[in-house]
């Protein structure tokens, strides 16, 4: 309905309120952020928060390098049988980094959370490629391969140093199957 409003409410112990100074800053409106503050502590912290520079994404080469680093880590976790840890890293660092690189490639906004509004901002073709990389635990090997291919293609598109030596050194020998899969 037109009257529907979204409100984000954060509840925090007073002893941990200084932590909000570590949040990413994106043109905050302090007046809209404050609902109740009996002692003025929150208002003071929000003012300090708002005075910080706005968040900016890391440069694209660093993002690409971090994706490659995460791919190496995921491969190592798979080889040691740490399937859940591999999945976590793949989801957060690989797919997240690829999403950020895709945003750069398509010249769309870069919010602090790479996946925010990705379905709205990115083309259907790029979204399909990202979804092919975002796999479950049992499909990590296939997702890993697709992520490496997409990372390499995005690096070329963005004129980044593709780290050919590292990319070619990746072993394409499949990792062992997870112990709980059917195959």
**Rounded Cα gap, residues 115 and 96, in angstroms:** 7
Q: Which pLDDT score is estimated for 181?
A: 55
**Rounded Cα gap, residues 137 and 48, in angstroms:** 42
Side-chain-facing half-sphere of 155: CA atoms under 13 Å: 21
**Which residue in this structure is represented by tokens 């291919």?**
149
Residue 14 dihedral angles phi and psi, to the nearest 5°: -55, -35
**Rounded Cα gap, residues 8 and 4, in angstroms:** 13
Q: Which pLDDT score is estimated for 182?
A: 53
Q: Which pLDDT score is estimated for 9?
A: 73
- B/e letters for 43-58, b = 16+ CB within 10 Å, e = fewer, are eebbeebeeeeeeeee
List, for residues 38-48, the tens digit of each pLDDT value: 888 888 888 88
Model confidence pTM above 0.95: no
The low-confidence residues of the chain, meaning pLDDT below 70, are: 1-2, 6, 171-183
């Amino acid at each position: 309905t037109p009257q529907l409003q979204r409100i984000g409410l954060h509840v925090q112990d007073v002893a941990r309120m200084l932590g909000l100074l570590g949040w990413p800053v994106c043109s905050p409106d302090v007046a809209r952020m404050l609902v109740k503050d009996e002692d003025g502590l929150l208002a003071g912290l929000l003012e300090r928060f708002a005075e910080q520079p706005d968040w900016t994404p890391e440069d694209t080469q660093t993002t690409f390098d971090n994706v490659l680093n995460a791919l190496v880590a995921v491969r190592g976790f798979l080889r040691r049988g740490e399937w859940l840890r591999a999945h976590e890293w793949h989801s957060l660092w690989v797919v997240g980094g690829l999403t950020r690189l895709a945003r750069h490639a398509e010249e769309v906004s870069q919010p602090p959370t790479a996946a925010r509004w990705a379905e709205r901002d990115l083309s259907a073709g790029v979204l399909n490629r990202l979804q092919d990389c975002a796999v479950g635990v049992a499909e990590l090997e296939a997702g890993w391969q697709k992520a490496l291919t997409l990372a390499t293609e995005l690096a070329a598109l963005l004129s980044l140093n593709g780290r050919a030596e590292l990319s070619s050194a990746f072993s394409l020998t499949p990792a062992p199957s997870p112990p709980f899969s059917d195959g």
